[in-house]
């Protein structure tokens, strides 16, 4: 049987993160967007919640709780409801840490996982995206040439979250016919990190371009060591997480538009009473819920350890389309008030457009 | 320092309250609940003291089976254990409530017993001091500052144009006023650990009610405002209406 009933701890996590999003994220979201900056206090405050460390094994200093992509999807939806850029900043290190925890060698786990279990926010990121037309993460142009004791990496990565401060990057590259991921420290010779990219949305989230010019890494820096890793699995987790972020964005727009439409009177009637608006609001609600179920299905498959590739792709593709449509309708329902910056819907619209293209196009 | 915090499950302060079909209870369908905010402040201060000095924090909750979720939330914030005194009674007078709590607290050892100054649903502001009286313990209500060391506590309460500073021998009872502590968000780790923490269960006795609640009524719907005039000329009329009609002056 399929049950959509949350576990008690998932309900408590949802409620706690909902309060956190409303009280610690919403009030600063606009200023973060305007100034393209994230306060250090916010990163410290979100780090205290244990968003990353809780699901790292105790042996490496973590909370030792089982990995739960479903709980993480619930948590991410709430954080993204607060603000998508801040949410992605808070959890970006998990992209790196969970890949190591799931597929790293024992030495890699011992070396890197304790970094994420300390008291201070620790930035490290996945580097997947590339600045090419219709980028497909499974056929990157970044290549890893094997050499006697390691690899030489060459290529360009973009939209790397927390690129301004990440101490390590997990770079996805083509190694002959297969795909691999490599840990590259920020100070690696041949690696240059750009200034923050100027983006349409998620403006508070610092993203950077990485230029890898014959960066030498050792064989021990290949994720999974000699056996390599399943990059698809990393992408499935990451895509599901991005889709959960888009559910939060969609819900934010929906929950803003509904009371506005009930309150806003035009031609002697609340605009929510007008069929054209009522249908929009109903469809926004239906699509938000539909996206959430796709996300939860992908998350459940990740949690069960079965292949989640198809489900994650469906969730992300659908979420990208629908969150753009829903946030666009959010702007539309508010009319003239929708595109002025006094209201947040225009920011959510830009954010949805941006989250939708992270980690490659959904067009192929 | 071993601290017991009594907490109540109450409807969310942001919820729209509807009267139930029996006319004397709140319709709980779809209603979100929270830990009463003043109780949460008391819990936060208890956790801070535990973190500073060591010891234990136990939460005690008299309430419906569904209160288990709010108890878990308290454990997720950092409390070590809980006592859930189960009861399906919707309304109970303060003295009966205080007696049930006192009966369960009698025989337990603790240094401090904390309450919120009042629950945000019944608003009686009575339970903390009643329990203290029943247990024959000193009590200070409405505390905005609470420190404890060497068998005594130093507390502050707001007074007109200043603060009262009171020293009390422990064990003692305190009720929390806004300003005592800002409740933390439960961490994900805390939430996951909470499910492994013990919740002792007990059943509240069926007692004859001292007070019966006859009816609940929603406040009258607000009517539209009235503009009584413009500029300085309108002030006398406004003052007259505030005095004679609104009766707020």
Per cent of chain B over pLDDT 90 is 74
Residue B14 has pLDDT above 90, yes or no: no
For residues B183 and B190, the answer to whether their CB atoms sit within 8 Å is: no
Give the pLDDT of residue A362: 58
Give the pLDDT of residue B246: 85
CA distances (Å), origin A224, targets A237, A350, B174: 17, 37, 56
- Interchain CB contact of B15 with A (< 8 Å): no
Q: Are strands B81-86 and B56-63 parallel, antiparallel or unpaired?
A: parallel
Give the pLDDT of residue B228: 87
- Interchain CB contact of A136 with B (< 8 Å): no
Give the pLDDT of residue B16: 86
A54 and B187: CB-CB below 8 Å? yes
Fold of A125-227: Butyryl-CoA Dehydrogenase, subunit A; domain 2 (2.40.110)
Give the pLDDT of residue A70: 97
d(CA A36, CA A39): 10
Is residue A105 exposed (0-12), middle (13-18) or buried (19+ Cβ within 10 Å)? middle
Question: DSSP class of residue A58?
Answer: G
Nearest-CA distance from B204 to chain A in Å? 24
Question: DSSP class of residue A187?
Answer: T
Is residue A241 exposed (0-12), middle (13-18) or buried (19+ Cβ within 10 Å)? buried
Q: Is the predicted ipTM greater than 0.90, yes or no?
A: no
Mutual angle of helices A345-355 and A231-263, in 10-degree steps: 160
Q: How confident is the model over B84-110, as pLDDT tens digits?
A: 999 988 788 999 999 999 999 998 999
Pick A359 or B153 by higher pLDDT. B153
Give the pLDDT of residue A2: 79
For residues B8 and B119, the answer to whether their CB atoms sit within 8 Å is: yes
Give the pLDDT of residue B160: 86
Q: Tokens for B139? A: 């009590």
Give the pLDDT of residue A363: 56
Q: What torsion, rounded to 10 degrees, do the Cα atoms B15, B16, B20, B23 define?
A: 120
CB-CB neighbours of B60 under 10 Å: 23
DSSP-derived 3-state class of residue A1: coil
Fold of A231-355: Butyryl-CoA Dehydrogenase, subunit A; domain 3 (1.20.140)
Check if CATH label 1.10.10.10 holds for domain A8-121. no
Phi then psi dihedrals of residue B114, to 5 deg: -115, 145
- Letter string b/e over residues B4-43, b meaning 16 or more CB atoms within 10 A of that residue's CB: bbbbbbbbeeeeeeeeeeeeeebeeeeeebbbbbbbbbbb
Q: Where in chain A is the domain with CATH 2.40.110.10?
A: 125-227
Residue B80 has pLDDT above 80, yes or no: yes
Among A11, A19, A53, whose Cβ lies nearest the Cβ of B185? Answer: A19
Among A11, A15, A75, whose Cβ lies nearest the Cβ of B188? Answer: A75
Give the pLDDT of residue B212: 87
Residues facing residue B61 across a β-bridge: B7, B84
Give the pLDDT of residue A87: 97
Among B68, B185, B195, whose Cβ lies nearest the Cβ of A16? Answer: B185
- Interchain CB contact of A13 with B (< 8 Å): yes
Nearest-CA distance from A49 to chain B in Å? 4
- Interchain CB contact of B8 with A (< 8 Å): no
Q: How confident is the model over B185-194, as pLDDT tens digits?
A: 999 999 999 9
3-state secondary structure chain B: CEEEEEECEEECCCCCCCECCCCCCECCCCCCEEECHHHHHHHHHHHHHHHHHCCEEEEEEEECHHHHHHHHHHHHHCCCEEEEEECCCCCCCHHHHHHHHHHHHCCCCCCEEEEECCCCCCCCCCHHHHHHHHHCCCEEEEEEEEEEECCEEEEEEEECCEEEEEEEECCEEEEECCCCCCCCCCCHHHHHHHCCCCEEEEECCCCCCCCCCCCCCCCCCCCCCCCCCCCHHHHHHHHHHHHHCCCCC
Give the pLDDT of residue A343: 94
How much is the average pLDDT of B179-200? 94
Q: How confident is the model over A20-79, as pLDDT tens digits?
A: 999 999 999 999 999 999 999 999 999 999 999 999 999 999 999 999 999 999 999 999
Query: CA gyration radius for chain A?
Result: 20
Give CA A102 to chain center in angstroms: 18
Q: How confident is the model over B26-35, as pLDDT tens digits?
A: 888 889 999 9
Q: What is the pLDDT along chain A (364 residues), one digit of tens a residue?
A: 678 899 999 999 999 999 999 999 999 999 999 999 999 999 999 999 999 999 999 999 999 999 999 999 999 999 999 999 999 999 999 999 999 999 999 999 999 999 999 999 999 999 999 998 888 888 999 999 999 999 999 999 999 999 999 999 999 999 988 999 999 999 999 999 999 999 999 999 999 999 999 999 999 999 999 999 999 999 999 999 999 999 999 999 999 999 999 999 999 999 999 999 999 999 999 999 999 999 999 999 999 999 999 999 999 999 999 999 999 999 999 998 999 999 999 999 999 999 988 776 655 5
Fold of B2-203: Rossmann fold (3.40.50)
Residue B243's pLDDT band, with cuts at 50, 70 and 90, is very high
Per cent of chain A over pLDDT 70 is 98
Give the pLDDT of residue B111: 97
Give the pLDDT of residue A360: 63
DSSP-derived 3-state class of residue A306: coil
Q: Are strands A269-270 and A265-266 parallel, antiparallel or unpaired?
A: antiparallel
- Interchain CB contact of A19 with B (< 8 Å): yes
How much is the average pLDDT of B203-214? 86
Name the least confident of B8-22, B65-79, B97-111. B8-22
Q: How far apart are the first and last CA of chain A?
A: 33
Phi then psi dihedrals of residue B23, to 5 deg: 75, 5
B73 and A16: CB-CB below 8 Å? yes
Give the pLDDT of residue B208: 79
């Amino acid at each position: 049987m399929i049950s959509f009933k949350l576990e008690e701890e998932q309900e408590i996590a949802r409620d706690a993160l909902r309060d956190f999003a409303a009280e610690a994220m919403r009030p600063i979201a606009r200023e973060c967007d305007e100034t393209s900056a994230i306060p250090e206090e916010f990163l410290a405050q979100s780090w205290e919640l244990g968003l990353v460390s809780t699901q790292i094994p105790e042996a490496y200093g973590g909370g030792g709780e089982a990995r739960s992509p479903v709980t993480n999807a619930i948590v991410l939806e709430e954080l993204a409801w607060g603000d998508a850029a801040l949410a992605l900043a808070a959890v970006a290190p998990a992209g790196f840490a969970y890949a190591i925890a799931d597929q790293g060698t024992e030495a890699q786990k011992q070396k890197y996982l304790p970094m994420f279990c300390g008291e201070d926010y620790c930035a490290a990121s996945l580097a997947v995206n590339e600045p090419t037309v219709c980028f497909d993460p499974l056929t990157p142009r970044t290549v890893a040439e094997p050499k006697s004791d390691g690899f030489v990496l060459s290529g360009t990565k973009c939209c790397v979250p927390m690129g301004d401060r990440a101490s390590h990057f997990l770079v996805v590259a083509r190694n002959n016919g297969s795909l691999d991921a490599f840990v590259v420290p920020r100070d690696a010779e041949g690696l240059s990190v750009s200034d923050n990219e100027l983006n349409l949305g998620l403006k508070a989230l610092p993203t950077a371009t990485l230029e890898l010019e014959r960066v030498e890494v050792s064989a021990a820096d290949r994720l999974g060591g000699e056996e390599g890793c399943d990059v698809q699995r990393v992408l499935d987790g990451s895509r599901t997480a991005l889709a959960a972020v888009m559910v939060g964005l969609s819900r934010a727009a929906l929950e803003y538009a509904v009371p506005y439409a009930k309150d806003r009177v035009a031609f002697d009637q609340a605009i929510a009473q007008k069929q054209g608006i009522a249908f929009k609001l109903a469809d926004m609600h239906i699509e938000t819920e539909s996206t959430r179920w796709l996300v939860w299905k992908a998350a459940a498959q990740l949690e069960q350890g079965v292949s989640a590739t198809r489900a994650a792709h469906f969730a992300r593709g659908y979420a990208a389309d629908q969150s753009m449509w829903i946030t666009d309708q959010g702007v539309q329902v508010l009319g003239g008030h929708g595109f002025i910056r006094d209201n947040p819907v225009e920011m959510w619209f830009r954010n949805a457009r941006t989250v939708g293209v992270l980690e490659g196009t959904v067009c192929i | 320092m071993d601290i017991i915090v009594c907490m109540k499950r109450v409807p969310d302060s942001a919820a729209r309250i509807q009267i139930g079909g029996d006319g004397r209870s709140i319709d709980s369908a779809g209603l979100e609940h929270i830990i009463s905010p003043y109780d949460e402040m008391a819990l936060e201060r208890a956790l801070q003291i535990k973190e500073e000095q060591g010891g234990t924090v136990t939460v005690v909750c008299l309430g419906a089976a569904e209160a288990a979720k709010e108890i878990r939330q308290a454990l997720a914030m950092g409390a070590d254990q809980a006592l859930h005194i189960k009861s399906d009674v919707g309304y109970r007078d303060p003295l009966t409530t205080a007696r049930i709590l006192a009966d369960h607290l009698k025989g337990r050892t603790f240094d401090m017993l904390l309450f919120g100054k009042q629950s945000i649903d019944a608003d009686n502001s009575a339970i903390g001091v009643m329990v203290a009286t029943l247990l024959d313990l000193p009590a200070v209500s409405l505390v905005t500052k609470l420190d404890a060391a060497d068998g005594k506590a130093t507390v502050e309460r707001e007074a007109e144009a200043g603060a009262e500073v009171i020293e009390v021998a422990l064990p003692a009872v305190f009720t929390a006023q806004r300003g005592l502590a800002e409740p933390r968000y439960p961490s994900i780790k805390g939430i996951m650990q909470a499910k492994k923490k013990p919740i002792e269960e007990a059943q509240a006795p069926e007692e004859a009610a001292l007070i019966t609640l006859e009816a609940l009524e929603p406040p009258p719907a607000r009517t539209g405002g009235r503009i009584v005039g413009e500029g300085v000329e309108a002030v006398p009329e406004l003052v007259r209406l505030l005095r004679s009609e609104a009766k707020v002056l």
